[in-house]
Amino acid sequence: MAHPRRVYVTGLSAGGGMTAAVLATYPERFAGGGVVAGLPYRCASALYEAYTCMNPGKDLTPEQWGDRVRAASSHTGPWPTMTVWHGDADYTVSVANQRELVEQWTEVHGTDATPDRTGTVAGYPHAVYTDDRGSSVVETVTVTGMGHGQPVDPGTGTTECGHTAAHMPDVDACTAWYLADTWNLT
């Protein structure tokens, strides 16, 4: 019997683009990933394109985005899950990229880009997109009022983490903890 994949990856901004890239190119090695303020896979194919992908972003159809992921490997599934955190006041990496990542990864999973469940995480809008079995395949958390950065919640509590610094704002939500909990690693 094959062992289930238990490896997860996460990254901020350029690292977020790398997260999408490793999930697309090595999907058999990862169970899921978390992108924080990042870009869809293959938004840019050259460095000069990266800046326009970051802001204002690139608007492709879900099929076009999905085709880019499927072309990255010979993998046929199951695909890694995707969680996307983004500040709605991010002027470095436009929040439009969150929508494009949702379109890319819901399309790869064969579902639509309409949330099946909505709610909040730490008071911020949360959307869940499920497959035909009702399993979460894509999630988003939109941190209202936050610019570009990795959300932290300094403290010693179970759900708290991090220290404030450049691009690490205290928004009372620890993305690292939330992702670990989502992946049943806490």
Q: What is the pLDDT of residue 40?
A: 96
Q: What is the pLDDT of residue 47?
A: 86
Q: Residue 130 domain-assigned?
A: yes
Q: Residue 3 domain-assigned?
A: no
Q: Residue 135 domain-assigned?
A: yes
Count of domains forming the chain = 1
Q: Active site includes 45?
A: no
Residues 6+ apart with CB under 8 A from 41: 17, 20, 21, 23, 24, 65, 68, 69, 72, 104
Sign of the CA dihedral 112, 41, 28, 128?
negative
Predicted confidence (pLDDT) per residue in 160-177, tens digit? 999 999 999 999 999 999
CB-side exposure of 83: number of CA atoms within 13 Å? 22
User: What is the residue-averaged pLDDT of the chain?
Assistant: 91
Whole-structure pTM value = 0.92
Q: Which domain holds residue 87?
A: 8-182
Q: Residue 18 domain-assigned?
A: yes
